[in-house]
Amino acid sequence: MKKERLLLIFSLILFFQITQAQLILIDGETGDYKYEDVVNVEGVSQNQILTRAREWIDNYYQNIDSVRIGDAEIETLISKKITWKFIQKKIPIELFIDLNIQVKEGKYKYSFSNFRQGKLFYGKLDVIPLKTYIERFPVRYQNLAEQPIDEEITTAITNLEFYIINGKMEKGEPDW
């Protein structure tokens, strides 16, 4: 009987810890939100990767800032509108994210960082860090705010990899 109670208590504690877990990836050094990885793409040259990454950005995101392209790197500020549900109310937010793609022969490194929430007024950003924005809500609702952002960035990463490998956008399911 005592073992069952202890197991039940342990299970509840574990459940509450998992439900309070952070969804958006956090950089261990800075504590900021950041998605970063190196992807190998055999058979694709450095120039092809750079060209395809630029085309993908133009097709997938609305660019806020001019895209800076070097010999082996792309840097840009991107914007994405996200809607998340807070209790029964849908809250639209606009995210501003720094995107950096570095390329080498047969591989590239992407970095989605510096997540901010706000608006663009007359060409100037009026934003706050996304982490600060999310922390304003009760803890039990923070995962609800993070979930659509994590899904969006995860989808973008998958789509970017598909585009760089295949040179075309991935066909998604029909939007009914």
Query: 29-54, pLDDT tens digit by residue?
Result: 556 788 999 999 988 899 999 999 98
Q: What CATH topology corresponds to 33-166?
A: Alpha-D-Glucose-1,6-Bisphosphate; Chain A, domain 4 (3.30.530)
Domain locations along the chain? 33-166
Residue 171 makes CB contacts below 8 A (sequence gap 6+) with none
Cα separations in angstroms, 23 against 13, 35, 36, 150:
18, 12, 15, 6
Other CB atoms within 10 A of residue 56 CB = 22
Q: pLDDT tens across 88-147, in order?
A: 788 888 889 999 999 999 999 999 999 999 888 887 888 999 888 888 888 877 777 788
Quote the tokens at residue 96. Answer: 């501003």
Q: Please provide the average confidence, as pLDDT, over all residues in the chain.
A: 79
